[in-house]
Amino acid sequence: MRNWRNTSTWKLFLYFFTGFVLLSVIVTVFLHQFIQRLEKDHLDRNITRVEEVYLPFLIPALWITDYGSLQDQIEGIADFDYIERVEVIDDRGEVFSAGAEARPSLDVITRDLVYVNRGRSQNIGSVSLFIDRNEFAARIFKRVRILFFLQLMMSVVLATIIAWVYHRVIGRQLFRIAEFIQADDPAGPARDLTLEKPSRQPAELRFLVDHINKTRCRMESHITEIQEWRNLLQYIVRHDPNAIFVLDRDMRFILVSERYLQNNQLERDKVVGRTFAEISPAIYEKWYQVHRRALGGETLGSEQDQLTRPNGAVDIIRWWCRPWYEPDGSIGGTVFYSETITERKQMERALFLEKELFRTTLLSVGDGVISTDDEGRVRLMNHVAEKLTGWKAEEAAGEDFGVVFHIIDESSGERAPDPVRQVLEDDQPVELMEDSVLVSREGLMVPIEDRAAPIRDRDGKTTGVVVVFRDCAEKRQRIKEIEYLSYNDQLTGLYNRRFFEEELRRLDVPRNLPLS
């Protein structure tokens, strides 16, 4: 604090001096009235003295025409304060005067001169006193001015004494505290505030200094913590794999990530502090509208949007824009976050095409195909599988495989083992028994043959099972016909020699041999 006019000592001096001056003005008003009354009383006493002392000598002198004595009396009266001129007019109209020349501004007090001769009163003339009211007022003003000046000097002295005492006791220490706070750098090395002769200072000042030192320590700790968080935030933003930039209300860059700089072929020093319009004028209008809406408190975004890079390349991005807030709760600007998903979209498209190709191929296969997840629930089935099982693909989705694919042993009529469960348990391909029959949803029984195999991901983990099966009723019928012809004569239908040879081989075992 280099300007001493801003110190509390100077302001205290001004306050007390102003107060004393106002008090002096009030006192002067009362003094003016008091002095005016005193001067008026003085004038009245002079007039009374003239009437009581001079007129008793002036009247006889006028009666006996003792002009020398008369003139002495007139001049004596003219010497009184405020009486500028005295005129005596006798009964013949002759004028005797003393003092200054008559002026219109002078007030006139006239008294008749009555001489008592042998008990008879006779008017022998008059005396006129010319009073100078201006001198009366000037004398009052002079005295009041002197008193006011003395009070003014006293006000200066008293205000100075009070300010000096205040400065010695409190003001100088407050000045040191203010200079310390003004010159102190919280980010710099820590240093404590100390008082001059602390033991002699008021307890309030010592408490204030202790509180300032403690507050500064806490502030230093908070600043360090805030700086650490700020550095961490800057590190996270700068090294985020996606493009991030922070703008103020005027769309001026505050913080940008390395990915944003790389995507737009920019340098950090040439971006921070400049406006979005200066950096990317081609797309300014679009993002200005987004920025303006975000300043209104909205959070905006798009899961898929096209962005033309400075080099002409077109990328697909996913972006969000949201406001950031000042400590007082007001919106200070916006944060933009964008992720380039061009490669992902290309992969998704390639995967979609591959999936569609697989689906088309699967649906075109002449065998029935059903795929399940790793818990045995149906995920996909083709038209042949729908026809053989009697289930629509939409209805079967999510159902347990054993519910949709109900198979029994043709010989015993008992339910056959679930091939999907066998694959999930053994993690190996399995085939159905030869006499397996599929019981459709409508109760139709269809002889089938099938094979179930695990579906594995890149890591070799089983993620599901695929079951391929076909209607083998015709095949199984032909096998039976061939087997019949192998053991029976084609013309007579009787068993042929091959049948008997097979029976002899079957019976030719030790258990059937004779005892001898």
DSSP 512: G
Angstrom distance (rounded) from CA 90 to CA 393: 152
Q: Is the pLDDT of residue 128 over 80?
A: yes
> Based on the domain organization, do 376 and 420 belong to the same domain?
yes
Last residue of a domain, one of 94, 110, 139: 139
Last residue of a domain, one of 81, 108, 139: 139
> Based on the domain organization, do 252 and 308 belong to the same domain?
yes
Question: Which residue matches tokens 């459709």?
Answer: 440
> Based on the domain organization, do 297 and 253 belong to the same domain?
yes
Residue 399 in any domain: the answer is yes
Residue 215 in any domain: the answer is no
> Based on the domain organization, do 269 and 373 belong to the same domain?
no
With 0-12 / 13-18 / 19 or more C-beta atoms within 10 angstroms meaning exposed / middle / buried, residue 150 is exposed
Last residue of a domain, one of 139, 173, 196: 139
Angstrom distance (rounded) from CA 115 to CA 123: 6
Residue 219 in any domain: the answer is no
Cβ pair 251, 274 in contact under 8 A? no
> Based on the domain organization, do 423 and 458 belong to the same domain?
yes
The set of long-range contacts for 3-12, using a CB threshold of 8 Å and a minimum separation of 24, is 7/171, 7/174, 7/175, 7/178, 8/166, 8/170, 8/171, 8/174, 8/175, 9/163, 9/166, 9/167, 9/171, 9/172, 9/175, 10/163, 12/162, 12/163, 12/166, 12/171
Residue 361 in any domain: the answer is no
Choice between 443 and 241, residue whose per-residue pLDDT is larger: 443
Q: Residue 253's domain is classified under what CATH number?
A: 3.30.450.20
Residue 203 in any domain: the answer is no
Choice between 18 and 489, residue whose per-residue pLDDT is larger: 18
Residue 186 in any domain: the answer is no
Q: Residue 74's domain is classified under what CATH number?
A: 3.30.450
What's the pLDDT at 269?
A: 84
3-state secondary structure of 446: strand
What's the pLDDT at 487?
A: 57
Angstrom distance (rounded) from CA 326 to CA 142: 66
> Based on the domain organization, do 461 and 485 belong to the same domain?
no
Q: Is the pLDDT of residue 196 over 60?
A: no
> Based on the domain organization, do 25 and 133 belong to the same domain?
yes
Token readout for 178 is 């203010």
> Based on the domain organization, do 399 and 422 belong to the same domain?
yes
> Based on the domain organization, do 420 and 302 belong to the same domain?
no
Strands 436-439 and 253-256: unpaired
> Based on the domain organization, do 467 and 496 belong to the same domain?
no
Residue 380 in any domain: the answer is yes
> Based on the domain organization, do 31 and 130 belong to the same domain?
yes
pLDDT, tens digit, 9 for 90 and up, residues 94-126: 888 888 887 887 888 888 888 888 778 888 888
What's the pLDDT at 312?
A: 72
Residue 449 in any domain: the answer is yes
Average pLDDT over residues 307-336: 86
Range of the domain at 376: 368-471
- Beta-carbon contacts of 408 under 8 Å, excluding residues fewer than 6 positions away, are 414, 415, 416, 436, 437, 439, 445
Instruction: Supply the pTM of this predicted model.
Output: 0.41
Mean pLDDT computed over every residue of the chain = 81
Task: Put residue 449 in one of left, alpha, beta given phi > 0 → left and psi -120 to 50 → alpha.
Answer: beta
Structurally, the chain folds into a number of domains equal to 4
> Based on the domain organization, do 17 and 121 belong to the same domain?
yes
pLDDT, tens digit, 9 for 90 and up, residues 213-264: 777 777 777 888 888 888 887 787 777 778 888 999 999 998 888 888 888 8
What's the pLDDT at 508?
A: 62
